[in-house]
Chains A and B, each alone.
Chain A
Amino acid sequence: SQKIEQNSEALNIQEGKTATLTCNYTNYSPAYLQWYRQDPGRGPVFLLLIRENEKEKRKERLKVTFDTTLKQSLFHITASQPADSATYLCALDTGRRALTFGSGTRLQVQP
């Protein structure tokens, strides 16, 4: 069955540094991969979508890469701020099920 792993349960970094989160998947070849932010007690909020034929996608301080050979996506937040502290979810876009989520990485940015 499909498996999605987000390698770190938690990541602590200093304000101003770049946060890098990893998502690995097996037993699937998704055409799309999405990243979401989730704050405690709230619904997931869409951040970025990347297609299988795109190596990299950027939006403001966010950058996502997608390596279909390694079956891996990296999510970067540059110049991180305490307001970036949240859980970040990787999700495979699997058609009729829409999204299959990883368990998330909880990012804490220290001032």
Chain B
Amino acid sequence: EPEVTQTPSHQVTQMGQEVILRCVPISNHLYFYWYRQILGQKVEFLVSFYNNEISEKSEIFDDQFSVERPDGSNFTLKIRSTKLEDSAMYFCASRTGATGNTIYFGEGSWLTVV
């Protein structure tokens, strides 16, 4: 079964450093998402991406965050200057169509900011 792959699985970074989390969505999918889950809390929406542009972002997704689809297969989340509160599991997800289609999640990238 096709799957969403994410790298790295775990990254430890110093506060203030830039981090790039990478995702390869399922190949025929058109809608891409990033979510995050702080330990013990619910899965929260960050950003959705369609047709090479952001279609919606949450209040969490401030100017420190950016997303890119540089080469038609990878989908990246960049955090420009990490803060302690950015420590969380970050999930990439994708689906073929908009509302009503199954969304497939990757296994996540666990980010620890120290």
A97 interface neighbour in B4, B58, B105, Cβ under 8 Å: B58
Interface size class on chain B is: 20 to 34
Whether A98 contacts B48 by the Cβ 8 Å rule is yes
B105 interface neighbour in A32, A44, A100, Cβ under 8 Å: A44
Minimum distance in angstroms from A27 CB to a CB of chain B = 16
Evaluate whether A98 and B103 lie within 8 angstroms (CB atoms) in the complex, with A42-B108, A43-B108 already known. yes
Which residue, of A43, A44, A97, has the highest number of chain B Cβ atoms within 10 A? A43
Residues 22-66 of chain B: 1 if any A CB is under 8 Å from the residue's CB, otherwise 0? 000000000101010000011111001000000110100000000
Chain A residues with a Cβ closer than 8 Å to the other chain, count: 26
Interface residues of A in 17-62 (CB under 8 A from B): 31-32, 34, 36, 38, 41-46, 49, 51
Whether B45 contacts A100 by the Cβ 8 Å rule is yes
Complex Cα spacing A42 to B37, Å: 11
